[in-house]
Chains A and B, each alone.
Chain A
Amino acid sequence: MTARSADQWCPALAPALMLRHDAVRGTDLLVLPERVVVLKGHAGMVVGLCDGTRTVPGIVGELAERFPGAPVADSVPGFLDSMRQEGWLT
């Protein structure tokens, strides 16, 4: 994909998926028709921002404000892209 369309992509959770917090295990989960993905660390929060209204740079900017000094610009776009390749983000 081109850099221009990458900037315009507003990631959203694929329709069949459920993002939820699991209070019993103290973690965030992505629940699919036949499997459960454990989202470690802040991954659940990042996925939570994928509501179809924010662009990737917008998500990165928001996270950079919340976590000053964290390497969000380096890690978040790659993470979102890998989530899309799995079919979990559209």
Chain B
Amino acid sequence: MTAPANPGAAARPAPPWALLAELTHACPLHCPYCSNPLELARRSAELSTDEWTDVLRQAGDLGVVHTHLSGGEPLLRPDLERIVAAAEAAGIYTQLVTSGTGLDEARLAALTAAGLRSVQLSVQHADPRAGDRIAGRPSSFAAKERAAALVRRAGLPLGLNVVLHRDNLDAVDALIDLGVAWGADRVELANTQFYGWGLLNRAALLPTRDQLARARETVERRREQLAGRIDLVWVVPDYFDGVAKPCMGGWGAVSLTVAPDGTVLPCPAAASLPDLHPPTVRERPLAWIWEHSAAFNRFRGTDWMTGPCGGCPRREEDFGGCRCQAFALTGDAARTDPACALSPDHHLVREPADAGRPEPPPYVYRRPGAVPAPAAGPAPSVVATDG
């Protein structure tokens, strides 16, 4: 083995700030843009209470100060209270990321008593029927409304997160009104990221440039109007802006994801990279995984960069964009993210973004078994079927 070209790259990485805990992939909702991998972890493979307790203790020792307890739907874990308590004992601030289904007053009281600090509630649309259709579950909107009221009554900070796409971008104004009416402190308006389920449903979810322009204007106007009352966050639509997003703040730089079965990933989508061989907490300590595993060092820093990223002045700002998107669209995770206008592959996002789609296809709802297991081989495991 040769010495690294840049000795700085071998230096001990700064500790992670945040851990995304995917406690389960089971979920009552079936959103077609779900950030979970296409191959959902089985419930029988999930980490036990003791294993999560140990992961959170190790995470606190490593420097993690913030955890999103997510899923799937984390409320489906009957031991969620004990997991919250384990995070609290490790000094880690907890935020529950939930669909709201299954939250009642007693459960929230137990979670708060265990140390839960804040709640982020997913919302699909401001209109109940449209919301239920996108989520693929009747009455899910009503459950969210009840959950928001419970969270406010408990005095916890409430954030709404909305994944934006063709079927709800025209409702951004109404979604912000909903945030105000439900007493949210923060509304995150996140344009769909197209990998995994989102890429599979790309032709149904991609908006038009006009829709995006109108929504962007609305957000700017409402942000001024609501300044100091509610925090409006706009996550950019990278297919349309010609600028790659600084995915995860850099590979293995800020946060890590622990999947339901204990697999540790630099980002929740990285399970899609076939040759990553991600480590698991069942075999290795978390500190070793963060500092020494090949998976976490693979795209750390800038030495791995190829193509236009290599000499780019923006490489310390966007870190080459998203590795999972580069792989999903080009088959090579080390290429420049095609979202960047400087990428030789930029047409791979530009063409679908500009294609007219008068009649989008129906959603492929996120359910176990909805997609056949990917065939072995170097080709991208998901190929979007744009009309």
Contact = CB atoms under 8 A, between A and B. Distances in A.
A14 B270 CA distance: 36
A15 B186 contact: no
A1 interface: no
Most buried by B among A15, A16, A25, A87: A16
Most buried by B among A18, A31, A34, A36: A34
Instruction: For chain A, give the interface size range.
Output: 10 to 19
A16 B157 CA distance: 6
Given A15-B155, A34-B186, A25 B63 contact: yes
B334 to A, nearest CB: 30
Given A20-B91, A25-B15, A31 B65 contact: yes
Interface in B322-352: none
B159 A29 contact: no
Interface string B42-63: 0000000000000000000111
Nearest to B157: A16
Given A16-B117, A18-B117, A25-B15, A31 B155 contact: no
A63 B93 CA distance: 29
A33 interface: yes
Contact of B15 (A15, A16, A24, A29): A24
A25 B62 CA distance: 10
B186 A33 contact: yes
B185 interface: yes
B213 to A, nearest CB: 27
Contacts of B157: 15-16, 33
A25 B93 CA distance: 16
Interface in B96-136: 117-118, 120
Contact of A22 (B65, B159, B186): B65
Nearest to A33: B118
Contacts of B91: 20
Interface string B6-21: 0000000001010000
Chain A to chain B: the 8 pairs with minimum beta-carbon distance, closest first? A24-B63, A33-B118, A16-B157, A31-B93, A33-B157, A18-B93, A24-B15, A31-B65
6 contacts: A15-B157, A20-B65, A25-B15, A33-B120, A33-B157, A33-B186
Interface of B: 15, 17, 61-63, 65-66, 91, 93, 95, 117-118, 120, 155-157, 159, 185-186, 228
Interface of A: 15-16, 18, 20, 22, 24-25, 29, 31, 33-34, 36, 87
